[in-house]
Structure 1
Amino acid sequence: MRRSTVTGSVPGSTSRRPRRGGARHAIGAALACGLLLAATDACDADEPKGPGGAPGTSNHAVSAPPPASVGSRPPGVGDRMWQQVPASSSQVVVVYGDSRNSPDSFLVLYERGVSGWERRAAWPAHNGRLGWTAEHRMDDERTPVGVFGLTDAGGTLGNPGSRLPYWHDDHAFASTITDDAAHAHDFDYVIAINYNRLVGAPPYDWSRPEGVDRGGGIWLHLDHGDGTSACVTIPESGMRTLLRTLDPAARPVVVMGDRERLMS
């Protein structure tokens, strides 16, 4: 039976066509993903433990040390990119892409503390199978570089305690997945990246304010072990942590791209 509910506190921008052979996600019945911490105890509950690895390196060992101050901004983010982060944002997710043409990346959650930005959690990640682009277009299989808001979430599973508004719809999300076991759980949990989408709408909403050719449906969602059509993926534990931690009042954003352009 179809269930569609929205929960969470309502706050205040993505490309998807049907995947070919499990690579594309359809939005609603026809479209698919253009492929893509507040409470400390929430981080601790789901944060993976293991040996350290520098952000953005090809060593995908998960690094999740206790919160540590990293200074006036997250490391590896240059002036031009940092100037796009709203001054009111106190939660920043940084996706460090290995290189322009690589599907491998590393996602780190930072929060602003009394002594500067602090690293809260980190996970190995994947991005577009062909890497990154500053001019994303529908079906280019590259993830857009830039700074984007994180305001809306959802999934085929019930709300795990999301602070973001959460749309639970086991039909709308499930219909975006082809009959491919490797991708069966991709959209258990989803956070929409505000690229070419209506803020405040469900992640699966097809509206594209900048036109269909610019792509859309760029999400954070569960990892399936390889590159995406443009989304960013992390392990399930990471998605639960982000959902329970990202707070609309903190104006969370994602800063993402290959390391070279992140430093610009």
Structure 2
Amino acid sequence: MRLLGLLAIAVLAAVAGGAGPALAAPGTTTPTSPSTPPKSSAPAIPETGIPLLDTLLNSLAGNLGGSSAEADTRQMIVVTAPKANDTSATLTGFERGADGSWKPVIGPTKAFLGSLGMGEPKDNVYRTPEGTFGLDQAFGRLANPGTKMPYKKVDRQDWWDSNMKSPTYNTMVRQAKSPGGDSENLYDSGPVYDYAVNIAHNPQRTPGKASAMFLHVTNNQPTQGCVAIDKELMRKVLVWLDPAKHPKISIGVNQAGPPASSAAPQSSAPNSATPNADSPAMPGADELTQLLGQLTSLVPSLFGTTTGS
């Protein structure tokens, strides 16, 4: 996919290099101030000075370039249910090998969701967040089972702050008294927190968008928005998780496994022709085709010509 993006960008850059000087008004070139360096390790695409082409280039980079975090992800937990209001789901852990292929290494197993299923997370609404999120912090009432994740063995002075008016909202805090609101004592909450890992669905800690969403041990009942699985399997998940592999959790309706995983069903792309069985689909081909189609329609305007009928 990255190679396709680079090839397409090279073609577009060549067009920009030839057409740009001819279209720019003499003496009106204004230097552009450097933009903030992107977080991705991919090189920034320079502006051509042609607004339409710059928009297309940015779209191409956004669709095909991908973020470095996504490219670095080598562990993915997929949680899928047939309907958004289902209170149980199937959880499978996948790992990407050196050859780039994904293989299931944990599960599939039953998981419990919020009592309102999955969707947009909100405080005081028992709904599991839908989307793909990082896994950043583990904790438990029991000793570290051997995880490589940052792990905290909690006691009665450890709380998860769910007070929307608190400056430490949606973080673990250590203090004698509750931070207030719906904050949870991570020890007194019981065996469900024997092992847990935070689902970083609200890293900006925006009040109202929910806090304390974890993957944790089940009590065989729907949750208040977390994802819950069998205790022994939760211990196995923690031992497996490795922050160096940038683990993520993906939660959704009929959620497929990671790309190129032979264990996951592959959904057909909408509004696309049936692929030839003898030629496998190329990753990113649909996006590339659409963007190059836009480029084709753009070229006449770049050179001040019109297409014939």
Tell me the TM-score range normalised by the shorter chain.
0.5 to 0.7
Aligned to 2:91: 107
Aligned to 2:264: none
DSSP-derived class of the 2:72 partner: coil
Aligned to 1:121: 106
Aligned to 2:248: 253
Q: How does 1:38-57 map to 2 (within 5 A)?
A: none
C-alpha separation in 2, matches of 1:254 and 1:175:
24
C-alpha separation in 2, matches of 1:251 and 1:115:
15
Letter in 2 for 1:194: A
Runs (5+) with no aligned partner, structure 1: 1-79, 198-208
Aligned to 2:150: 165
Please tell me whether the aligned partners of residues 157 and 170 of structure 1 are also in contact (alpha carbons under 8 angstroms): no
Offset from partner CA, 1:222-242 (integer Å, 9 cap, x none): 011111110000001111111
Work out whether 1:196 is the aligned partner of 2:202: yes
Aligned to 1:142: 127
Please tell me whether the aligned partners of residues 146 and 255 of structure 1 are also in contact (alpha carbons under 8 angstroms): yes
Q: CA deviation at 1:194?
A: 0.5
| Aligned-residue CA RMSD (Å) | 2.5
Letter in 1 for 2:141: T
C-alpha separation in 1, matches of 2:219 and 2:198:
18
Q: How does 1:14-29 map to 2 (within 5 A)?
A: none
* Length-normalised TM-score, structure 1: 0.58
Letter in 2 for 1:143: T
Decide which of 223, 230, 234 is 1:228's aligned counterpart: 223
Please tell me whether the aligned partners of residues 98 and 104 of structure 1 are also in contact (alpha carbons under 8 angstroms): no
Offset from partner CA, 1:121-156 (integer Å, 9 cap, x none): 1121001111111x2111221111111011210111
Q: CA deviation at 1:193?
A: 0.5
Decide which of 60, 83, 87 is 2:71's aligned counterpart: 87
C-alpha separation in 2, matches of 1:126 and 1:215:
18
The percent of aligned pairs where both chains have the same amino acid is 30
C-alpha separation in 2, matches of 1:212 and 1:261:
31
Please tell me whether the aligned partners of residues 150 and 253 of structure 1 are also in contact (alpha carbons under 8 angstroms): yes
* Length-normalised TM-score, structure 2: 0.50
Please tell me whether the aligned partners of residues 139 and 153 of structure 2 are also in contact (alpha carbons under 8 angstroms): yes
Distance 1:154 1:126, change over 3 A: same
Distance 1:261 1:160, change over 3 A: closer
Offset from partner CA, 1:179-218 (integer Å, 9 cap, x none): xxxx731000010001114xxxxxxxxxxx3422111110
Runs (5+) with no aligned partner, structure 2: 1-62, 160-183, 258-266, 270-309
Decide which of 193, 197, 201 is 1:187's aligned counterpart: 193
Which moves more between the two structures, 214-223 or 115-124?
A: 115-124
The higher-RCO structure (CA 8 Å, 6+ apart) is 1
C-alpha separation in 1, matches of 2:256 and 2:100:
27
Please tell me whether the aligned partners of residues 78 and 255 of structure 2 are also in contact (alpha carbons under 8 angstroms): no
Letter in 2 for 1:185: P
Please tell me whether the aligned partners of residues 220 and 231 of structure 1 are also in contact (alpha carbons under 8 angstroms): yes
Offset from partner CA, 1:106-134 (integer Å, 9 cap, x none): 1100001226100111121001111111x
Aligned to 2:138: 153
C-alpha separation in 2, matches of 1:210 and 1:261:
28
C-alpha separation in 1, matches of 2:231 and 2:244:
24
